[in-house]
Structures are given as C-alpha cells and as structure tokens.
Amino acid sequence: KKELRILKDDDAITVHEMPASSISSLSVNISTLNDSTLIIATCSELLQYNINTNSLRSVFQSNNYCIRALWKYKDYLFFGTYGSGFYILKNGVVKKMPLDNYQYLLYTHCFMPDGNGFCWISTNRGLFKVAIDDMINAYEKNLSGIYYYYFGKTDGMLTNELNGGCA
C-alpha cells in the first residue's frame, strides 16, 4: 500500500492513503503548487494534495505515459510526459502544448529557465529553447503552434539523448 507521509520530529506520519488508481504507479516527481498544495507526478496521473484539508484529487490522467518533469512558473505548472508531450496546468485547467515539427517533444524530460525569458527543454532527441511568453500565449490563446529553437548533433552535440531528469 502507498501512503503520503510527512516527517514530524523523527516520525513519518501518514497523512493520506494513495488512491487505488495510483497504487501501482511510480511516484516520479513532487512539487509545490502554492503554500498549501503539493503536486505529485506518477506514471498514471498528476495528483493534487491540499495540506490544509488533507484532500487528494487527480488533475490529469495518463495511463500510457509517465509524467516526469514538473516546473512551476508564476500561476502555471508545466509538466512533461514520456511519450505524450508537455502540458500546462493553471487554475485546475490542463492544456496540451503544441509540439515541434518532428514531434521530438513527445518525450519531455526537463524544463530549465535561463533568466533571459527562455526555457530550455530536454528530450531524448535533442534540446529545445523556447520563449516562455510563447508557451504562456499558446496556453491562454489556444494557439496551435509555438516557435522552438532546436539543438542536436548537427549543432556540435555529441549526443542528443538528453533523457535524464533534473531538479
């Protein structure tokens, strides 16, 4: 059985038993959404746990693709999957983001902002640089395309297999 626990003094105290749907799922990542909410990424769903109310709910289900990467930016939570691209969650609404032309972003492993208004996204087929504002606009305006800068072997990389995680 899987449980969500908190550390208090020297004890791990169970605060919530995980739902049956996520029992067989590996918990891949965890992040804060705000002061009272945790986001838990598994291989079957994205869960939202409210610390104040001790409530757990599913905000996204993906039975075929593990949710691997989480990145919080302002009111937006970006999350990447292993095989289904990346998504943005805001105020309980999840939207799938447009992919690159070759669909390399189907396997999104990491989001890394650079401090210059861009986010670098690693995949197992190369590295992408994208304006954060472009991704936000795609979410807010339901745009069907985003301009991505792509870096791969032809750019001097010895490998384009960037499938490790990051934090």
Per-residue pLDDT tens for 47-63?
Answer: 899 989 988 889 999 87
pLDDT tens-digit series, residues 80-114: 999 999 999 999 999 999 999 999 999 999 999 99
Cα atoms found within 13 Å of the Cα of residue 43, Cβ hemisphere only: 5
The pLDDT of residue 65 is above 90: no
Alpha carbons 56 and 49: distance in angstroms, whole number: 4
| Among the listed residues 127, 91, 85, the one whose alpha carbon sits nearest the alpha carbon of residue 108 | 85
Predicted local distance difference test score (pLDDT) of residue 14: 84
pTM more than 0.75 = yes
Predicted local distance difference test score (pLDDT) of residue 28: 72
Predicted local distance difference test score (pLDDT) of residue 83: 92
